[in-house]
Structure 1
Amino acid sequence: MQVKETQNEGLKRGYQFTLPAAELAATVDAKLKEAQPEIEMKGFRKGKVPMAMLKKQFGPRILGEAMQDAIDGALRQHLQDSGDRPATQPKVEMENGDGWKEGDDVVVNVSYEALPAIPEVDLGGLKLEKLTVPAEESAITEALENLAKSAQNFEDRRKGSKAKDGDQVVIDFKGFVDGEAFEGGAAEDYPLVLGSNSFIPGFEAQLVGAKVEDEVKVEVTFPEEYGAPHLAGKDAVFDCTVKAVKAPKPAEIDDELAKKFGAEDLDALKTQIAERLEREYAGAARAILKRSLLDQLDERVKFDLPQSLVEAEAAQIAHQLWHEDNPEVHDHDHGSIEPTDEHKKLAERRVRLGLLLAEIGQKAEVTVSDQEMTQAVLQAARQYPGQERAFFEFIQQNQAAQQQLRAPLFEDKVVDHIAGQAEVSEKKVSKEELEKAVEALDEL
C-alpha cells in the first residue's frame, strides 16, 4: 500500500492510499487457497474444486473483503505511525470507484481533522472560591410553613360567604359542546381548589364569588393542544351547582405534621429539612465553583479547534434553543436552523473545554465505575415510571445512550480532580447571596 500526503493545513489532513492491483490479486488468491480445502462443490470432491471455479464463484466477494481489509489496515497503520487522533470518523472515498474494474489499482482518498495537541495547564494556579450556606432558622421555618400549607385541610365558610381564590368549592357539573353533553364532562361532589389551574383555563376564575346553592354557567374554550382531539379548540358550557365553599386551613406545625412526612417528631423533621437545604445549597455552590473553574480554564488555555466538532456543536445548540423557544413543536419536522455567531462562540467554548477536560481526565486516569453507571441509569429510569425495564434494555443496547450518561459523570469527576489541585478558599454567605450568584450564572 502506497501512502501520499495530499493536505496538511492546520488540523486538516488528507492522504491518498494506493493499493496495487498485483497486491490485491495476491491477497484474493491467498484467501481462496486458504479456504479451498474446506469448500465442496457439486461434481468435485471436498478440497478439489479448481481455483478458476473458486475465483469465478467467490472471487468478487473475496475481492471486496480484501479491498476493505487493506484500506482499514492501511488507515490503522497510518494513524498509529502518525499519532493522529481523528476528531470525527475519517472520510474515505474511492477515487476511481465508478470506473474501477478488476486489474486496476485501488486509489482511495482519506481526509479528516486531527485532534489538536492539548497544552499543559498549571492546575495549582487556579484560584477557586467555595461558597457555604448554613441552613438558617428562617429558611427551616419557611419550609415547615410550606409543608403545613401542602397538608392543609378545608373547613366550611360561614353560610352565604363568597368563594375566594384558594378556597375549595364542592360542585356538581355537566359540560356541553354544541349543546350536546360529552363523555367525561360531568361529575358530582367534585372538590376544586380555585386558583389551582387544575381545570380548563378560565374555568376556576368564573367560580370566584359564587356561594353555596348558586348555579353558574361556566363558558370556556378547550386548548388547541387538548388531549382529547374531538374537544380540542371547541367552545364548551358547564352547568355548575355549588354545594360547599371551604376555606383553607393550614395544618398545625407539630409532631403530627412531622409524622405525616415520615419523621419521628418535629425536631427530627427540622433536622431533615436542614440537611436537605444544605444539600441544595451545596449543589448550587458547586455549580458556581464549576463555572468559575471552567471560565478560568477557558481563559488560560487556547488551541486550534477541529471545525467539524465546532460546527456539529453549534448546530446542536441552535436546534436545542429553537425547540426551547418553540415548545409546541415536539418533532423535528421543521426547516433548517442556521446557527448564529453567538451559537458558534458557545460551541467553541464547549468543544475547547470538552477536549481539555478529556485530556486532563485521561492523564489523571479518571474513570467512571460500573457502580456509578448503574446509579446513573437507575436515576435516569425514574423519569419513565412503568417503563423502567424497557429503558434498561435500551441503555444496554445503545452505546450512544450509555455515553450520554457517562459523559457528565466523567466531567464531574475531572472537575473534582482539578478542584483538588487548585487553591480553594471557603466563604460563608447567606441564602440570598447564593441565589444572586446562581442567577448570575444564567445571565452569562
Structure 2
Amino acid sequence: MQVTETLSEGLKREFTVVLPAKDLEERLTNELVGMKDKVRINGFRPGKVPVGHLRRVYGRSVMADVLQNLVNETNRKIVEDQGLKLALEPQIVFPENKEEVEAAMEAKGDLSYKVALEVLPKFEIADFSGLAVTREVFDVPESELSEALDRLAQQNRQFATKGEGAKAEKGDRVVVDFVGSIDGTEFEGGAGTDIPVDIGSNGFIPGFEDQLIGATAGQQLTILATFPAEYGAPQLAGKEASFATTVKDVQAPSEVTIDDEFAKQFGMDDLAALKTALGEAIAKDYTAVSRRKLKRQLLDALDGQYTFDLPPSLMTQEFDNIWRQVESDMQQSGKTFADEETTEEEARAEYQKIAARRVRLGLVLAEIGEKAQVQVTDDEVSGALVERARQFPGQERMVWDFYRKNPQALAEIRAPIFEEKVIDHILETANVTEKKVTKEELMAEDEEGKPSAAAASEDKPKKARASKKKAGAEPAAETPVTNASE
C-alpha cells in the first residue's frame, strides 16, 4: 500500500491511500485458499474445490472483506506511524468512478481512496501544586439532627378518623375526591379519588389545602386554586382551576414518641443507631455540596490554565447535544428566548462558549488521567450500573441488559467515575485549604450566580441564569465531556 499525506492543517489530516491490484489479488487468493477446507460444494470432495470456482462463487463477498480489513489496517498504520490521537473515527472517501471500484473488486486495478482524520491537540500538563482551592466544611449542629428526627416522625404519623361533624384543622389529613376544570373544561390529570391531603404540608398547589380547613366529612365544596407560573405542565402553568371536591373523611394525627421502638420501624437497633445513621446521611448531603463547589473551583482553575485548538467535530457534537436539551427544555416549559431575556443568536453564542469549555476540560482531564494511569475497574462500573438500575424499579434487568449490550451507553457510566478519580488525583497535589462555613454560606451561590448544586458543571448563559433565578428553578447542569476522549 502507498500512503501520502495531502493535508496537515491545524487538527486536520488527510491522506491518499493506494492499494495496488497485486496486493488485492494476493489477499483475495490467500483468503480463497483458506476457504478450501471449510466450504462444502456439491460435486467436489472436501478440500478439492478449485480456487477458480471459489472465486466465481464467493469472490465479491470475500473481496469486500479483504478491502474492509485493508482499510482498517491502513488506518491503524497511519495513526501509529504518525503518532496521532484521534478525536473521532477516520472518514473514508472512496472514488466516485464506479469502473475504478469494480476493477478493484476484481483485483484488476488499483484502488485509490482518501482518509480524513481529526486529531486531538497536543499540550503539556501544568503543575498542579500551583492550583489553590478552598474546601468548605460545615459541621451539622445537633439542632438540625433533632429537626430531621421530628420530620421523620411527622412523615410516619398514623391518622385516625376524628368523628362525625369534626372540622378539619391545620395538621389534619383530609381524604377527598376531586375533579378539576379550567374555564369549565376538565383537564387531564385533574381528577383524583380517595386522595389524602395533609393540611399544611404544601403538597398541593398553593391555596388548595387552606380551603379544606373547617371542612367536615360528607361536605361538598368548590376549591379555587392557581397553578404556579413555573408549573411543570405548560398548559396549566399560571392558570386558575376549579376543583369540585367531596370530603370523605377528616383524620387527626396520632402522637409519635421518638424512642427505641420508633427507631426499630426503620430497621435500627435503637434510637442511638437511628440518630447516627440520620446524622451520617445529613453530613453526606452537605459533603456532596462541598465537593461540587470544590470541583467547580478546580475546573475553573484548569480552564484558565489551558489554551489550545479544539477539534471541530467534538465542538459540533457537544454543542448539538447541549442545544437539543435547550430546545427540549424550552418546549416543555413553553418559554421563548425573549422570556429568558435573550435572543436565539445570543443564546447560541453563550452555549458555544459552554461547549468549548466542556470539550477543553474533557480533553485536559483525559490527558491527566492517562498520564497518571487512572483506571476505572469493572467492579466500579458494575456498582454504578446497579445504582442506575435501581432508579427504575421493576425494570432493573432491562436497564442492566441495555447498558451491558451497548458499549457507548456503558461508556456514559464509566466517564463520571473516571472524571471523579482524576479530580481526586489532582487534589492530592493541589493546594487545598479547608474553611469552616455556615449552612447559608455553603448553600449560597457563587459570585457569578452559579448555584452550588451545579458546582462541577457549566450553567445556562448569564441572562437565562437571571431569569431562572427569578422563577426559583434549578438550572440544568453540564459536565466535562471526558468520555469523548478517554
Using structure 2 for the length normalisation, give the TM-score.
Answer: 0.75
Q: Distance in 1 between matches of 2:251 and 2:43?
A: 97
Q: Distance in 2 between matches of 1:275 and 1:206?
A: 39
Residue 58 (structure 2) pairs with residue 58 (structure 1): yes
1:410 Cα offset (Å): 0.7
1:292 Cα offset (Å): 0.9
Task: Return closer, same or farther for 1:239/1:435 CA change in 2, 3 Å cut-off.
Answer: closer
Task: Return closer, same or farther for 1:187/1:60 CA change in 2, 3 Å cut-off.
Answer: closer
Match of 2:340 in 1: none
Task: Return closer, same or farther for 1:288/1:107 CA change in 2, 3 Å cut-off.
Answer: same
1:27 Cα offset (Å): 2.5
Q: Distance in 2 between matches of 1:428 and 1:149?
A: 32
**Which of 119, 122, 131 is 1:117 aligned to?**
122
**Which of 218, 221, 224 is 1:216 aligned to?**
221
Residue 370 (structure 2) pairs with residue 366 (structure 1): no
Q: Which runs of 5+ in 1 are unaligned?
A: 179-184, 227-234, 330-336
Per-residue CA deviations over 1:316-344 (Å, capped at 9, x if unaligned) read 11112332333379xxxxxxx99811111
Alignment map for 1:121-140 (pairs within 5 Å): 121-140=126-145
Match of 2:363 in 1: 355
Question: Aligned-residue CA RMSD in angstroms?
Answer: 3.8
Per-residue CA deviations over 1:187-235 (Å, capped at 9, x if unaligned) read 67x75434667789987565444235534366999xxx99xxxxxxxx9
Match of 2:435 in 1: 427
Q: Which runs of 5+ in 2 are unaligned?
A: 185-190, 227-231, 234-240, 335-343, 460-486
Q: Does the CA contact (< 8 Å) of 2:216 and 2:247 recur in 1?
A: no
Aligned residues: 423
1:121 Cα offset (Å): 1.1
Q: Distance in 2 between matches of 1:393 and 1:132?
A: 40
Match of 1:229 in 2: none
Which amino acid letter does the alignment assign opposite residue 57 of structure 1? V
Which amino acid letter does the alignment assign opposite residue 425 of structure 1? T
Identical-pair percentage: 38
Using structure 1 for the length normalisation, give the TM-score.
Answer: 0.82
Match of 1:169 in 2: 174
Q: Does the CA contact (< 8 Å) of 1:314 and 1:343 recur in 2?
A: yes
Match of 2:95 in 1: 95
Q: Distance in 2 between matches of 1:239 and 1:418?
A: 59
Match of 1:275 in 2: 280
Task: Return closer, same or farther for 1:363/1:157 CA change in 2, 3 Å cut-off.
Answer: same
Task: Return closer, same or farther for 1:201/1:386 CA change in 2, 3 Å cut-off.
Answer: farther
**Which of 350, 371, 375 is 2:383 aligned to?**
375
Q: Distance in 2 between matches of 1:416 and 1:308?
A: 29
Tell me the SS of whatever aligns to 2:332. Answer: coil
Residue 389 (structure 2) pairs with residue 391 (structure 1): no
Match of 1:295 in 2: 300
Residue 148 (structure 2) pairs with residue 143 (structure 1): yes
Task: Return closer, same or farther for 1:371/1:22 CA change in 2, 3 Å cut-off.
Answer: closer
Tell me the SS of whatever aligns to 2:98. Answer: coil
1:359 Cα offset (Å): 1.1
Per-residue CA deviations over 1:51-97 (Å, capped at 9, x if unaligned) read 43332222222222222222221111111100112100111010235
Q: Distance in 2 between matches of 1:176 and 1:135?
A: 43
Match of 1:415 in 2: 423
Q: Does the CA contact (< 8 Å) of 1:314 and 1:347 recur in 2?
A: yes
Q: Distance in 2 between matches of 1:429 and 1:317?
A: 34
Q: Does the CA contact (< 8 Å) of 1:148 and 1:250 recur in 2?
A: no
Match of 1:67 in 2: 67
Structure exhibiting the larger radius of gyration computed from Cα positions: 1
Q: Does the CA contact (< 8 Å) of 1:218 and 1:240 recur in 2?
A: no
Q: Does the CA contact (< 8 Å) of 1:176 and 1:238 recur in 2?
A: yes
**Which of 310, 313, 320 is 1:308 aligned to?**
313
Tell me the SS of whatever aligns to 1:251. Answer: coil
Q: Distance in 2 between matches of 1:360 and 1:405?
A: 19
Residue 350 (structure 2) pairs with residue 342 (structure 1): yes
